[in-house]
């Protein structure tokens, strides 16, 4: 009954012609205590009752399962749910993906799509979510430092109106956390709060004060989460005139990140606090010790500051030294960073060409986040499982959404990847209206296809969707999570604070 006609080995190993040796892909995955299931056994023993329903479509390819790539068939219902994953799934229309990989779409926890914003902004929900779709990102969390900023229920509702009918992938919205924020009013509606501990767009920064702890306690009681931009301006060197990213790192040093994080100690009991864009292993240690989750961006993982870079590489927090970057990358490889996020924050080239110290901070990245890291997998620098946990599974658990895994009960949000498809990242081939990328010339493995609720939105690397993106909320999604013993069931205690694996 298998429909794969290509070199789809029953052994579960990659074809010898495949450029990615399985020993490299799985070196993080093949824990010695993971039993290898005999061939033909059920891939998931605890399937919900829905799994008995005949799927509308069956996608035949390969999946990553318990540290191994194996041939599998993925049955998807008419409603866009995965109803069965097995060596053979009967019924429905069959989609032959040969030996290509079916991977869960990523969730980008940190984007700035600049919507709403005054005329002249180079991003919006339509353009940002289009780039997300082409980069294998099926859901994004948009930040509140828009113009005007998302500080009240009215503003949040206005922004929700900008998402609906204009988005190509799913969108979740954060509200800003300031002393004026009505936490209890916004918590049920927003997908969390963003706390800026340093000045940012939209006047959302308020220097410390006794109200901060009380604010965080109110968020904890509401059951929501706080994403923190951790830089303490007390250590900024405003006397310096930076001319390149290395000097920018001296203006906003690693110490300011550490000081901001330490200023949040002791942890507020019961608060889910998430540290955005961690730049050093020292910052990771503070966060992990406090039980907070962390994210790292592709630019902090893959780029370091050099004297030859111009303001296109100006970002907050700044790019660090090569050695700091290397340590951060090793931490990511080891699974010590909870999640991957792009901090996609584009600016027009004209603004980036202003003198360095005047130019705005931020880089585009939602379209290249996953392809850049998949290229590192291809080169054997990290495992596929590490990427999927950091980009798909953990963000889904963090947000309480039924996605992030190829498993029964999950929404059918997935991409099709062929590791032979590597290509050089070129701004002119990307879809960012800003027209540039800090990753020009690097290798990327872009998804060939992308499915949203079982519907194809990217085909042969081209966008074919039609505004199917939904406005989602934390812990919501379109339906409830499976209640079976499936490991995808959402339990707050499952989320690792830093180094511990969930899979």
**Sites of contact with Zn ion (CB under 5 A):** 343
Instruction: State in angstroms the smallest separation of the CB of 116 from Zn ion.
Output: 17
State the helix-helix crossing angle for 322-333 and 281-290, rounded to 10 degrees: 40
Residue nearest Zn ion (C-beta atom): 343
Task: Decide whether 194 or 403 has the Cβ nearer to Zn ion.
Answer: 194
Q: Residue holding tokens 């005999």? A: 38
Burial of 373 (0-12, 13-18, 19+ CB in 10 A): buried
Instruction: State in angstroms the smallest separation of the CB of 499 from Zn ion.
Output: 24
Q: In sequence order, what are the residues at sequence separation of 6 or more whose Cβ sits closer than 8 angstroms to the Cβ of residue 23?
A: none
Instruction: State in angstroms the smallest separation of the CB of 145 from Zn ion.
Output: 8
Instruction: State in angstroms the smallest separation of the CB of 85 from Zn ion.
Output: 35
Q: Say if CB 439 and CB 367 are below 8 A apart.
A: no
Q: Which two tokens stand for residue 392?
A: 């798909």
Task: Decide whether 254 or 343 has the Cβ nearer to Zn ion.
Answer: 343
Instruction: State in angstroms the smallest separation of the CB of 91 from Zn ion.
Output: 45
Task: Decide whether 343 or 367 has the Cβ nearer to Zn ion.
Answer: 343
| Distance in angstroms (rounded) separating the CA atoms of residues 262 and 320 | 20
Task: Decide whether 63 or 276 has the Cβ nearer to Zn ion.
Answer: 276
Q: In sequence order, what are the residues at sequence separation of 6 or more whose Cβ sits closer than 8 angstroms to the Cβ of residue 292?
A: 267, 273, 274, 275, 497, 498
**3-state class (DSSP) for residue 75:** strand
Phi, psi of 331 (to 5 degrees): -65, -35
Task: Decide whether 295 or 449 has the Cβ nearer to Zn ion.
Answer: 295
Largest CA distance in the chain: 71
- Enzyme catalytic residues: 343
| Distance in angstroms (rounded) separating the CA atoms of residues 501 and 23 | 20
Q: What is the DSSP letter of 380?
A: T
Q: Say if CB 108 and CB 341 are below 8 A apart.
A: yes
């Amino acid at each position: 009954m298998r429909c794969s006609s290509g070199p789809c080995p029953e052994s579960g190993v990659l074809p010898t012609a495949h450029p990615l040796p399985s020993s490299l892909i799985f070196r993080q995955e093949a824990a010695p205590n993971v039993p290898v299931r005999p061939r033909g056994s059920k891939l998931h023993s605890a399937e919900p009752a829905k799994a008995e329903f005949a799927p509308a479509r069956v996608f035949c390819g390969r999946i990553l399962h318990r540290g191994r790539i194996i041939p599998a068939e993925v049955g998807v219902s008419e409603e866009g749910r995965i109803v069965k994953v097995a060596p053979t799934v009967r019924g429905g229309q069959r989609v032959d993906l040969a030996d290509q990989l079916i991977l869960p779409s990523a969730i980008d926890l940190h984007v700035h799509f600049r919507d709403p914003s005054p005329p002249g902004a180079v991003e919006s929900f339509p353009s940002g979510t289009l780039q997300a779709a082409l980069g294998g990102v099926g859901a994004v969390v948009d930040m509140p430092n828009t113009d005007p900023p998302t500080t009240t229920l009215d503003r949040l509702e206005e922004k929700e109106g900008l998402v609906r009918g204009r988005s190509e992938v799913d969108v979740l919205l954060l509200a800003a956390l300031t002393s004026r924020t009505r936490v209890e009013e916004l918590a049920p509606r927003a997908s969390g709060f963003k706390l800026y501990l340093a000045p940012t767009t939209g006047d959302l920064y308020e220097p410390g004060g006794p109200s901060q702890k009380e604010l965080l306690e109110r968020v904890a009681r509401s059951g929501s989460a706080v994403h923190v931009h951790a830089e303490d301006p007390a250590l900024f060197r405003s006397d310096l005139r930076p001319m390149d990213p290395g000097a920018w790192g001296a203006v906003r040093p690693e110490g300011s990140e550490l000081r901001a994080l330490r200023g949040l100690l002791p942890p507020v009991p019961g608060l889910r606090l998430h540290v955005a864009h961690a730049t050093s292993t020292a910052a990771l240690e503070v966060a992990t010790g406090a039980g907070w989750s962390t994210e790292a961006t592709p630019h902090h993982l893959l780029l370091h500051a050099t004297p030859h870079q111009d303001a296109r590489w100006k970002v907050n927090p700044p790019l660090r030294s090569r050695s700091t970057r290397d340590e951060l990358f090793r931490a990511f490889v080891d699974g010590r960073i909870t999640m991957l996020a792009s901090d996609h924050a584009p600016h027009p080239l004209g603004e980036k060409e202003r003198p360095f110290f005047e130019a705005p901070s931020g880089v585009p990245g939602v379209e290249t986040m996953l392809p850049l890291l998949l290229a590192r997998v291809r080169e054997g620098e990290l495992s596929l499982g590490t990427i999927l946990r950091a980009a798909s599974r953990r963000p889904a658990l963090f947000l309480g959404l039924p996605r992030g895994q190829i498993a029964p009960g999950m929404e059918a949000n997935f991409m099709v990847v062929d590791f032979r498809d590597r290509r050089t990242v070129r701004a002119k081939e990307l879809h960012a209206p800003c027209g540039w990328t800090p990753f020009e010339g690097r290798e990327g493995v872009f998804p060939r296809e992308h499915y949203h609720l079982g519907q194809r939105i990217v085909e042969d690397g081209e966008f074919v969707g039609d505004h199917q993106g939904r406005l989602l909320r934390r812990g919501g999604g379109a339906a409830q999570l499976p209640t079976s013993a499936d490991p995808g069931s959402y339990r707050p205690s499952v989320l690792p604070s830093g180094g511990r694996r969930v899979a």
